[in-house]
Amino acid sequence: MTTSLSDIAERAGVSIKTVSGALHGGSARMSEQTRLRIKEIAEELGYVTNLAARGMRQGWMPLIGVVADDLITSPFATEIIRGLDGAARASDMAVFAMTLGGGRDVASVLEEVRRFRPRAIAYAAMYHKTVSLPAEFAETVGVMINCREANDKVTSLVPDEIGAAHEITSYLIEAGRRNIAFINLPGLLAGELREAGFRRALGEAGLDGDRARVLPAVRRAIYSDRAHSLVLSHVTALMDGPERPDAILCGNDRVAMEVYAALRRVGAQIPDDVAVASFDNQVDIASRLDPPLTTMALPHRAMGRMAADILLSENAAPGEVRKLAFQLVERSSV
Amino acid sequence: MTTSLSDIAERAGVSIKTVSGALHGGSARMSEQTRLRIKEIAEELGYVTNLAARGMRQGWMPLIGVVADDLITSPFATEIIRGLDGAARASDMAVFAMTLGGGRDVASVLEEVRRFRPRAIAYAAMYHKTVSLPAEFAETVGVMINCREANDKVTSLVPDEIGAAHEITSYLIEAGRRNIAFINLPGLLAGELREAGFRRALGEAGLDGDRARVLPAVRRAIYSDRAHSLVLSHVTALMDGPERPDAILCGNDRVAMEVYAALRRVGAQIPDDVAVASFDNQVDIASRLDPPLTTMALPHRAMGRMAADILLSENAAPGEVRKLAFQLVERSSV
DNA sequence: AGTCCTTGGGTTAACGGTTACCCATCTCTA
DNA sequence: TAGAGATGGGTAACCGTTAACCCAAGGACT
């Protein structure tokens, strides 16, 4: 049996409220002696606060509910959770995630989460996208992580794709690269924005941004051999063509992994012949490629942290879209 | 304001208990007409069950608490959670994970979890190891996932390392390989067990298991360049030595990734000159290597699923250690 | 016609913790 | 020395849900 306040009260010969005050209410009026004695007894009896009971009284549980829009499979998802968790913990809150997928829609998952009466709810997307939340949920969900709410009813935190592409492109240019090709992820919001940043950086450096080559890696079939061979044929065509690039920017680290393999096949050295850079910083991959890959790290942790801050301080500005900066991780592929 | 049963009761002109019975008690006696009317009103008012209140009444929340022994960063951790979640969902339970690390010890994290009054608690390790749980927690924790409790007080679910090593080694032998080297993870329980399975499989095939070469990849420095170069020097030594291996078994997919790079440097073809096989099936890596990697997939999902089954059926046999089989994922590196 | 069971639903008391309010007692000051 | 304020602690209501009882009405059976 779990011990409750009344057990402690009985043992200490005081009322329940005194025990409650001693253990939880920091500012409750009582003698330090009583407080200490109660704490001792609580410890002895192995008392553990019943948050369900407190939660019922307060009307909410010390939880931040997270609705994740796809099966949590990527390491990025855990980064978001860790960011949230770190910030939430400072306020004695816990993070509680539920994922969509498997035939569950937003409404039902949201209800599942709401049954636990979390203090606040966040919606997290596994990759940067625009999400259209049914109107009736716009006020239930306090913040959108890694996605933008279509009708701007909710505060959204997204990665600064344009800025990141601009930064890594400029970095390549500063490294003396003049002919940069971009093997991008097609059909994705991130890819679209990065292309804009890429072209702009080229333009600002006096290079012809409009003519720069942006080639698609296959989407959705990203794990199939087809994707593999498409990247291979792109790289082969680039390297055999009249304007050999001296740098290849990749849509993400996994694409970069394929580009490495392709460059090896055509006998090009990294970074001597061709520099390679990318987005994501999926450490397992990026740090183990040969040579280790220079890449822009996504601000997942930061988005999680900021989300918790916004939710708990309750100073969200509905409709605002905050763009968080990537971080350049320099390794030796440039 | 959230609506409660009493709001619905008032609107429907019945008592609270009737509403409760209509919405939750499947077998409660009442006319189908009343039940339907109440459900309609509940829907209309946007009623969401308050699990904190129910939890207080029942004495527990519909939660499975998970204490994870390290920062959840690997994709494997999420597989365990997914396995748990899938099975828990069938019983209307949710999974609630908290991780150690950051100066938190088992006792405090366990208390944090217990405050939510979960129905059951599991302890999950991020890699296969032996964990010594303080005696007072042995009955709090219902099952150990991916680790074995040192004093056999708790049911433990672990991967069948010996069997897996035996299987993949036999597979290599059947593929005609006779001289297999094993670049293992040193200092790890998994590595130790796999070495045993590896040697036994060789012995059973009439090869000299005792003389087989088992070389260590560096532990802990697994992300450093030092590990990189150690694997490189091992492979170089193997390939330049008098007994060139025709297969290399790797401690995990990340080691395999380095072995690929090393083999490429010494000019060996995979799988023609040397077959490569491994453990983990970290899809991002294994399916993208060139050629795609044949590897033994860890039974993380299965362990999660079984853990939930054990916890919810309450037929745990304390002290029992169940070994779950890996799954061979054939690609083209053998 | 009286008894018994079934049906449909109400009453009430918890569950554990918090909090607004109240009541003593003691100390200080006018 | 009486009144005011501080100190230490008690009382009881309440949060939303459930479960163990209770009750009334009606139909079937002896």
**pLDDT, position A75:** 74
- Domain's final residue, options B29, B49, B69: B49
Q: How many domains does chain A have?
A: 3
**pLDDT, position A221:** 44
Residues A287 and A307 in one domain: no
Mean pLDDT of the region B49-53: 95
For residue B104, give the DSSP letter.
B
**Residue of chain A with shortest Cα separation from B72:** A78
- Closest nucleotide C1' to the C-alpha of A34: D8
The answer to whether residue A250 sits within a structural domain is yes
Q: Which of A22, A16, A66 is CA-nearest to residue A43?
A: A22
Of A81, A264, A282, the CB nearest to B264: A264
Residues A169 and A283 in one domain: yes
Give Cα separations from B58 to A110, B54, B119 (angstroms).
Answer: 23, 6, 10
Structure-model confidence comparison of residues B270 and B316, the more confident one: B270
The answer to whether residue B228 sits within a structural domain is yes
**pLDDT, position B144:** 96
Give Cα separations from B268 to B163, B176, B259, B303 (angstroms).
Answer: 29, 18, 11, 38
**pLDDT, position A223:** 47
Mark the ranges of chain A whose per-residue pLDDT is less than 70. Answer: 1, 26-28, 71-73, 218-228
Residues B64 and B141 in one domain: yes
Residues B194 and B279 in one domain: yes
**Residue of chain A with shortest Cα separation from B262:** A290
Question: Are A150 and A142 in contact, with CB atoms under 8 Å apart?
Answer: no
* R_g of chain A, CA atoms, integer Å: 26
**pLDDT, position B222:** 44
Of B78, B115, B228, the CB nearest to A51: B115
B196: confidence class by pLDDT, cuts 50, 70, 90: very high
Distance A28 CA to D9 C1' (A): 11
- pLDDT tens-place string over residues A71-127: 666 778 888 999 999 999 999 999 999 988 778 889 999 999 999 999 999 999 989
B73: confidence class by pLDDT, cuts 50, 70, 90: low
Residues B187 and B225 in one domain: yes
Give Cα separations from B214 to B123, B132, B182, B225, B270 (angstroms).
Answer: 32, 29, 5, 21, 20
Give Cα separations from B228 to A205, B222, B260, B262, B270 (angstroms).
Answer: 37, 8, 11, 9, 19
Structural domain that includes position A230 = 161-297
- Chain A nearest CA to B142, separation (Å): 16
Alpha carbon distance B297, A170 (integer Å): 41
Of B56, B94, B264, the CB nearest to A53: B56
Judge: A96–B98 Cβ closer than 8 Å, yes or no.
no
Residues A252 and A314 in one domain: no
Alpha carbon distance A325, A319 (integer Å): 19
* Sign of the torsion angle spanned by Cα atoms B324, B327, B333, B334: positive
Residues B120 and B214 in one domain: no
Residues A252 and A228 in one domain: yes
B138: confidence class by pLDDT, cuts 50, 70, 90: confident
Alpha carbon distance B114, B278 (integer Å): 39
For residue B218, give the DSSP letter.
P
Distance A40 CA to C13 C1' (A): 32
The answer to whether residue B252 sits within a structural domain is yes
**pLDDT, position B223:** 47
Mean pLDDT of the region B160-187: 96
Q: Which residues of B touch A288 (CB under 8 A)?
A: 223, 228, 254, 257-258
pTM of the predicted protein model: 0.90
Residues B115 and B191 in one domain: no
Alpha carbon distance B251, B127 (integer Å): 13
The answer to whether residue B330 sits within a structural domain is no
Q: Which of B284, B283, B269 is CA-nearest to residue B333?
A: B269
**pLDDT, position B220:** 46
Mean pLDDT of the region B36-49: 91
- pLDDT over threshold 90, residue B75: no
The answer to whether residue B40 sits within a structural domain is yes
**pLDDT, position A117:** 96
Residues A202 and A149 in one domain: no
Neighbours of A118 (CB within 10 A): 23
The answer to whether residue B92 sits within a structural domain is yes
**pLDDT, position A89:** 93
The answer to whether residue B329 sits within a structural domain is no
**pLDDT, position B27:** 58
- pLDDT tens-place string over residues B77-112: 888 999 999 999 999 999 999 988 778 889 999 999
**pLDDT, position A72:** 62
Residues B200 and B273 in one domain: yes
A45 touches strand C (CB under 7 A): no
Residues with CB under 7 A from strand D: A 13-18, 29-31, 34, 56-57, 59; B 2, 4-6, 16-17, 20, 23-25, 47, 49-50, 53-54, 56-58
**pLDDT, position A113:** 96
Residue B37 has which token pair? Answer: 């009317």
The answer to whether residue A333 sits within a structural domain is no
Domain CATH number, residue A229: 3.40.50.2300
- pLDDT tens-place string over residues B203-256: 999 998 888 899 988 654 444 455 567 888 899 999 999 999 999 999 999 899
The three state secondary structure string of chain A is: CCCCHHHHHHHHCCCHHHHHHHHCCCCCCCCHHHHHHHHHHHHHHCCCCCHHHHHHHHCCEEEEEEEECCCCCCHHHHHHHHHHHHHHHCCCCEEEEEECECCECHHHHHHHHHCCCEEEEEEEEEEEEEECCCHHHCCCCCEEEEEEECCCCCEEEEECHHHHHHHHHHHHHHCCCCCEEEEECCCCHHHHHHHHHHHHHHHHCCCCHHHCCEEECCCCCCCCHHHHHHHHHHHHHHHHCCCCCCEEEECCHHHHHHHHHHHHHCCCCCCCCCEEEEEECCHHHHCCCCCCCEEEECCHHHHHHHHHHHHHHCCCCCCCEEEECCEEECCCCC
Highest mean pLDDT: which range of A134-143, B36-45, B195-204: B195-204
Residues B108 and B203 in one domain: no
- Chain B nearest CA to A203, separation (Å): 34
